[in-house]
Amino acid sequence: MLKFFFSCLCLIFINGGFAQTTIQPKDAPKYIGQTVTVCGKIYGGKYLDAVKNKPTFLNMGALYPNQLLTVVIWGDSRKNFSYAPEEKLKNKTVCVTGKVETFKGKAQITIDKESLIKEQ
């Protein structure tokens, strides 16, 4: 039985079951529709408490409006964070995992829990 378990585990690793592509913010537009990990510096962010859906935007790779990737946290997901992301992560290098999408021609990743963004 143990031999069978290790054989299955090896097949998963060989087939990339645990593989996660790690990229730089500048490369995010090449991965639209794919789930990746993007590592880079958060140059700033904003929590828009008075706007519909209360989004938090984190600008990776440069200051807004020249950011290379926007990390989006919707208001209903903000409760899943033990800190204010726009404050704690400013000027920090982080890795964020999620599906790359676009909004108005810019790459973005929407996350809904703290475990998807890690300080480096």
Residue 95 included in any domain: yes
* pLDDT score recorded for residue 18: 52
| Helix, strand, coil percentages for the chain (3-state, nearest 5) | 25, 35, 40
Average pLDDT over all residues of the chain: 89
Q: Which residue has the higher pLDDT, 60 or 4?
A: 60
Domain residues for the domain of 27 are 20-119
Residue 9 included in any domain: no
Closest CA to 92 of 64, 60, 51, 48: 60
pLDDT above 60: residue 66: yes
* pLDDT score recorded for residue 28: 98
Residue 6 included in any domain: no
Residue 65 included in any domain: yes
Residue 36 included in any domain: yes
Q: What is the Cα–Cα distance from 70 to 34, expressed in whole angstroms?
A: 15
How do residues 48-63 score in pLDDT, each as one tens digit? 999 999 999 999 999 9
Residue 14 included in any domain: no
Residue 13 included in any domain: no
Residue 1 included in any domain: no
The residue written with tokens 């995010």 in the block is 28
Q: For 64-73, what is the mean pLDDT?
A: 98
How do residues 102-116 score in pLDDT, each as one tens digit? 999 999 999 999 999
Q: How many domains does the chain have?
A: 1
* pLDDT score recorded for residue 20: 81
pLDDT above 80: residue 71: yes
Closest CA to 58 of 111, 120, 113: 111
What CATH number did the domain enclosing 73 receive?
Answer: 2.40.50.140
How do residues 18-27 score in pLDDT, each as one tens digit? 558 999 999 9
**Predicted model pTM:** 0.84
